[in-house]
Amino acid sequence: MNQENHKKGKGKFNAEETVSRLYPYIVRVFDVYEIQNSGEALYLYGTPKTDAANITGELWEPLQQFGFGCTLKYELGEYVLLVFPEKKKKEKTWVNIVLFIATFFTTMVCGAWMSGADLENGPFQLFRGLPFTLAIMAVLGSHEMAHYVMAKYHGMEASLPYFIPFPTFIGTMGALIRYKGPVPSRKALFDVGVAGPLAGLLMSVAVTVIGLNLEAPTVNPLTNSTMLDLGLPPLFVFIQNLVGATGETLHPVAFAGWVGMFVTLLNLLPAGQLDGGHILRAMMGKKAEKISFLMPRIMLLIGLYVIYWLKEDGFIWVSWALLLWIFAAAGHPSPLHDKVELDKKRIFIGIITFILGLLCFTLIPFKSIS
């Protein structure tokens, strides 16, 4: 073996020690006949003992335990397994905290307006928006934290949630987490993808039940303000009937539940790298690309139907059709263990999840009224 020990900071890369640790795992799937190293990277020349496409998938988990990653290349008639240490960047959690606080404030302002607060003459009426803030942050936070916990469970690198403050009618554009590195398997892809919508929808149902049992505040619309007439999805109507709610005006907490259902619907659209795209890709493999290709066109047809046939505002569906076009065009990265199909239990959960998503659909989610 051609060795070059390489210093980095206070540590020292030891090629022999690294090989002795990783070699037992590597030889299970890769027959090595020569090893070279340069700096902190190892070059292992050999022959795959299994399908070459599965090598990195087989080695991902054991190498991760030691802080290493790998990639397989075919160069000049030889297979070369490149093994290298993965350098993990320290998370800047202060960014997450600042965005959380900012979103907490912007949603509380919107919640106060929904509760009829006059913030210009009574700034402390801001706290009337607290119930809406707690409700909407719980809905969005549970969705993203479910993704985070499941990603960690499968050994994936994921950031804490980033809440996005924005001057919309709910004070936020939602929340997201960032994934780093490959997805180890279709099982992991499914579990991470399905966890968010299910957790978020469960929280939305709880918030809706609480909100429908609260008396809606009397609100005097501000001058030149626009009110929204909400289209209620089947799941929301079912909960209304279940709790016996009859009022036409929603409490802000119940409205947060409506928002959660609408967000769940959008996330579960089976296209690109939306949650629905992840779930379908895990369930169907590469066949899911056909549905991902069709979905933007279906959304566009729905939008045009609402605009030209129903004479209503279908801009939301047209805009999402354009976004999905971009998401679908970007494709979906393949998991490392892409040939291992899902078990029947996960397939069933996936079908149920998409059905729940359909129960959150309404043809005209909202329209403005003067």
pLDDT in tens, 36-59: 988 888 899 999 998 887 888 888
Domains, in order of start, for the chain = 6-85 (3.30.1360), 93-369 (no CATH)
Q: Tokens representing 239?
A: 């909960």
pLDDT of 337:
81
Tell whether the model's pLDDT for residue 314 goes beyond 60. Answer: yes
Q: Would residue 218 be called left, alpha or beta, if left means φ above 0 and alpha means ψ between -120 and 50 degrees?
A: beta
Instruction: Determine contact, residues 327/280, Cβ cutoff 8 Å.
Output: no
Instruction: Determine contact, residues 102/165, Cβ cutoff 8 Å.
Output: yes
Tell whether the model's pLDDT for residue 21 goes beyond 90. Answer: no
Query: Percentage of the chain surpassing pLDDT 90?
Result: 59
Nearest Cα to 361, choosing from 311, 306, 322, 323? 306
How far apart, in whole angstroms, are the C-alpha atoms of residue 314 and residue 366? 9
How far apart, in whole angstroms, are the C-alpha atoms of residue 40 and residue 33? 20
pLDDT bracket for residue 7 (50, 70, 90): very low
Nearest Cα to 191, choosing from 235, 236, 146? 146
Task: Return the exposure string of 139-158: e unless at least 16 CB atoms fall within 10 Å of the residue's CB, then b.
Answer: bbbbbbbbbbebbeebebbb
34's enclosing H/E stretch is strand 30-38
Nearest Cα to 55, choosing from 37, 72, 38? 72
Q: Tokens representing 186?
A: 């279709």
Q: Give the pLDDT confidence of 68-125 residue by residue, as tens digits.
A: 888 899 988 899 999 988 877 777 899 999 999 999 999 999 999 898 887 888 888 8
How far apart, in whole angstroms, are the C-alpha atoms of residue 20 and residue 27? 11
Query: Percentage of the chain surpassing pLDDT 70?
Result: 94
Residues paired with 85 in a beta bridge: 68
pLDDT of 310:
92
Q: Are strands 227-230 and 162-165 parallel, antiparallel or unpaired?
A: unpaired
3-state DSSP call for residue 290?
helix
How far apart, in whole angstroms, are the C-alpha atoms of residue 254 and residue 65? 45
Q: Tokens representing 323?
A: 């976004």
Tell whether the model's pLDDT for residue 190 goes beyond 80. Answer: yes
Q: Are strands 172-176 and 366-369 parallel, antiparallel or unpaired?
A: unpaired
How far apart, in whole angstroms, are the C-alpha atoms of residue 370 and residue 359? 29
Q: Is 25 exposed, middle or buried (0-12, 13-18, 19+ CB in 10 A)?
A: middle
Instruction: Determine contact, residues 172/104, Cβ cutoff 8 Å.
Output: no
How far apart, in whole angstroms, are the C-alpha atoms of residue 252 and residue 202? 18
pLDDT of 64:
85
pLDDT of 4:
41
pLDDT of 220:
67
Of residues 323 and 264, more confidently modeled: 264
The pLDDT of 158-171, averaged and rounded, is 92
pLDDT of 1:
42
The pLDDT of 195-202, averaged and rounded, is 98
Average pLDDT across the chain, whole number: 88
The reply to whether the predicted model has a pTM over 0.75 is: yes
pLDDT bracket for residue 10 (50, 70, 90): very low
3-state DSSP call for residue 89?
coil
For residue 321, the one-letter residue type is A
pLDDT bracket for residue 6 (50, 70, 90): very low
